[in-house]
Amino acid sequence: MTKPVVIVVGADKGGVGKTTVSRTLLDYFNTNNVQTRAFDTESPRGTLKRFHPEITEIVDMTTTADQMKIFDTLNSGLSVTVIDARAGLLSPALASLRDIGFLDAARSGQITFAVFHILGSSIASLDEIAETAGFMSGAKYFLVKNFINDTQFFQWDQSTYNSYFQQIKNATELTIPKLNEMAYEQVEVASVPFVNFVANKNRNDEAANHSFVLRGYVRHWLANVWREYDRINLTDLAGAKSVTRGGEK
Amino acid sequence: MPMLATPVYIICSPSPQVGKTLVSRLMSEFLLLKNGTALSFDINLKEPSLVDYLPNITETADVIDTYGKMQLMDRLILHDRVAKVIDLGFHAFDEFFKMCEEIGFIREALRCHVAPVVLFVAGTDRISLRSYEMLRRRIPSGALITIHNEFMLRGELPEVMDGARVLRFSALPVFLKTYVDRLSFSFTGYLRNEKDSSSELHQWIWRNYVMFRDLESMAMLQPSS
């Protein structure tokens, strides 16, 4: 039986693109035939659920009942669980995971645990790294520089960043490139997964009328994001084999 | 019987004043004569432009922002059997092909039974050579045609451009060039009204129309993937 995989996507700051990254992960696993479920902790609204309603459940991770819903069902047969942690919840969520013994289970190899820490442009993000690093023993830690909304990491002094980065053993950097603004907006309006937008489909999986140009921008961007996921062998992490994808070369 | 593709002719050069609009006019008028319909796009707003010559079948377009790109490219990808001509101004050359690369235009077009044909008006300057190399890397060889406009480029073509398919437009005498450059001049109108079919201009137009006819046949039979 495949070992369960839990991926937490989070940041303590809002508006850095956590849900966007979660959406690209769900699309990536879906395309690579990895069975996935998602939990959206933006209770009660749930942005992730709007894009992936069939596999996403809205939960309040601060309640014991919902923690049980997530972690007591890890052996349900679905190999990957993606948790989109709402702003400010990353550190408390990791503390909860420690308290329920989840981090110990990850350390002992019973569970594969990964954290995608989405970095903002402010220096506060660097403090977040230091705080999060304390929980990362036994976990795969990915630091994601998200440029999708044209973030300029202007506040960062590279040597300061490096000093934080080097404190964390085995942390890996990822870069999410910028997506054309109009293309991003149109996917938002369409409320469909990125892959459905590229395939010109609407929410009901029927033919849509999305702009060819915007679909092209999304296709190109998504291919670059997935290239990053290929680089870190994300399908191997999930215990699956990468499939050959058509289209973008 | 193979499905015939909808051709899209992209007439381009990274340099000004090499004869792009002349070739675009000729191509548009040829398509109108042969098919009874054609749609041209003028992305040439800083120069004397196609829309001034053929206002009934020409729309202006730009690739400055995403909205302009959508307005143009979303129509180019349609397999509606109306051949399209793009008179691509030199200032839009880089942005247009960068966008084509980013949105996967060539590959998607073939999938949609649309056949893009890039007609590169040759020059001997360094920018032309560099741009041609870029196109050679990105455009399938059968869809990249060099235009040798002998009125503007008197000598030989650069060697790198001479190997593949070339359409040669012989130089017209200056007085005839001035004549065809008038806004009211129509190539097809001239063929219809000029009784002397042995005249130099008559022969010149006819020869170029025959070249376009052969090119059109090739483009429409392009494989769909």
SS (H, E, C) A176-228: ECCCCHHHHHHHHHHCCCHHHHHCCECCCCCECCCCHHHHHHHHHHHHHHHHH
Is pLDDT at A207 greater than 80 in this prediction? yes
CA-to-CA distance for B74 and B79, rounded, in angstroms?
11
Contacts of A190 (CB under 8 A, 6+ apart): A196, A197, A202, A203, A208, A210
B95-111 tens-digit pLDDT? 999 999 999 999 999 99
pLDDT of B141 > 60? The answer is yes
Is residue A200 in some structural domain? Answer: no
Instruction: Give A146 to chain B, closest Cα distance, Å.
Output: 20
Question: What residues in chain A have their Cβ under 8 A from chain B's Cβ atoms?
Answer: 180-183, 211-217, 219-220, 247-248
Residue B78's nearest CA partner among B133, B154, B8 is: B8
State in Å, rounded, how far the first CA of chain B is from the last one: 16
**Cα–Cα distance measured from residue A199 to residue A135, given in angstroms and rounded to the nearest whole number:** 39
Least confident of A170-174, B146-150, B200-204: A170-174
Check CB contact under 8 Å for B102 and A217. yes
Q: What is the pLDDT of residues B157-183, one digit of tens each?
A: 888 888 778 999 999 999 999 999 999
- Residue ranges of chain B whose CB lies within 8 Å of a chain A CB: 66-67, 69-70, 73-74, 77, 99, 102-105, 107-108
Half-sphere exposure of B221 (CA within 13 A, CB side): 7
* CB A213, CB B74: distance < 8 Å: yes
pLDDT for the residue A192: 96
Asked if B36 and B64 touch (Cβ cutoff 8 Å), the reply is: no
Report the range out of A154-163, A206-215, B155-164, B216-225 with the highest average pLDDT. Answer: A206-215
Q: Within a domain: residue A71?
A: yes
Taking only the tens place, the pLDDT of each residue in A26-75 is 999 999 999 999 999 887 777 899 999 999 999 988 888 988 888 888 87
- pLDDT tens figures, B109-134: 999 999 999 999 998 899 999 999 99
Per the listing, tokens 């359409």 go with B167
Q: Do B103 and A216 touch (CB under 8 A)?
A: yes
Backbone φ/ψ region at B186: left (φ over 0), alpha (ψ -120 to 50), beta? beta
Q: Which among B66, B77, B104 has the least Cβ separation from residue A219?
A: B104
Taking all residues of chain A, what is their mean pLDDT, rounded to a whole number?
Answer: 84
Which of A77, A81, A150, A149 lies closest to A115 in space, CA to CA? A81
Count the domains in chain A: 1
**CB atoms inside a 10 Å sphere around CB A32:** 20
Alpha-carbon distance B197 to B192, whole Å? 10
**Among the partner residues A182, A183, A213, nearest to B73 by beta-carbon distance:** A213
Gap from A52 CA to chain B (nearest CA, Å): 25
The sign of the torsion formed by the CA atoms of A89, A94, A96, A102 equals: positive
In a domain, A242, yes or no: no
Q: Which of A238, B27, B195, A133 is nearest to B41 (CA)?
A: B27
Alpha-carbon torsion (A238, A240, A246, B2), positive or negative: negative
Q: Give the number of other Cβ atoms within 10 Å of residue A119's Cβ.
A: 24
pLDDT band at A125 (very low <50, low <70, confident <90, very high): low
Give whole-number Cα distances, A234 to A7, A115, A216, B186, in Å. 11, 12, 24, 61
pLDDT of residue B224: 41
Residue B142, token pair as written in the block: 């059968």
Tokens (6 digits) for B144: 């990249």
A113, amino acid identity: F
* H or E element in which residue B142 lies: none
Q: Give pLDDT, residue B48.
A: 61
CA distance A179 to chain B (A): 11
Q: Classify residue A118: in a domain, yes or no.
A: yes
Domain at A59, CATH number:
3.40.50.300
Count A/B contacts: CB-CB distance under 8 Å: 41
What angle (nearest 5°) sits at the alpha carbon of residue A31, between those of residues A29 and A34? 40
Supply the pLDDT for residue A149: 66
Residues B16-74 pLDDT 10s:
989 999 999 999 999 999 999 999 999 986 766 899 999 999 999 999 999 999 999 99
Give the pLDDT confidence score for residue B44 in this predicted structure: 82
Among A5-14, A82-91, A153-162, B193-202, which stretch is predicted with the lowest mean pLDDT? A153-162
Alpha-carbon gap: A224 to the closest alpha carbon of chain B (Å)? 11
What is the structure's pLDDT at A162? 72
Residues in contact with B181: Cβ distance below 8 Å, sequence separation at least 6, in sequence order: B22
10 Å CB burial of residue A152 (0-12, 13-18, 19+) is: exposed
Confidence of residue B225 (pLDDT cuts 50, 70, 90): very low
Q: Which of A130-139, A177-186, B93-102 has the lowest mean pLDDT?
A: A130-139
pLDDT for the residue numbered A67: 85
Residue-number span of the structural domain to which A228 is assigned: 5-179+221-237
DSSP A107-171: HTTSSEEEEEEEE-SSTHHHHHHHHHHTT-TTSEEEEEEE-TT----TT--HHHHHHHHTTSTT-
The DSSP secondary-structure symbol of B89 reads: -
Chain A residues with CB inside 8 Å of B140's CB? none
Q: Tell me: the pLDDT tens digits for A79-116?
A: 899 999 888 888 888 888 888 888 898 989 889 999 99
Query: Residue B73 and residue B117: Cα distance in Å, rounded?
Result: 15
Picking from B66, B96, B113 by the largest number of A CB atoms within 10 A of its own CB, the best residue to mutate is: B66
What residues of chain A lie within 8 A of the CB of B73, using their CB?
212-213, 216
Predicted TM-score (pTM) of the model is 0.84
pLDDT band of A123, cuts 50, 70, 90: low
Residue A74, domain member (yes or no): yes
Q: Do B103 and A182 touch (CB under 8 A)?
A: no
CATH fold of the domain at B6-220: Rossmann fold (3.40.50)
Tokens matching residue B143:
């869809």
Interchain pair A214, B108: CB under 8 A: no
User: Within a domain: residue A95?
Assistant: yes
Report d(CA B70, CA B65) in Å as an integer: 9
Task: Using CA coordinates, name the residue in chain B closest to A182.
Answer: B66
Residue whose pair of structure tokens reads 């052969």 in the numeric block: B214
Q: What pLDDT sits at residue B180?
A: 95
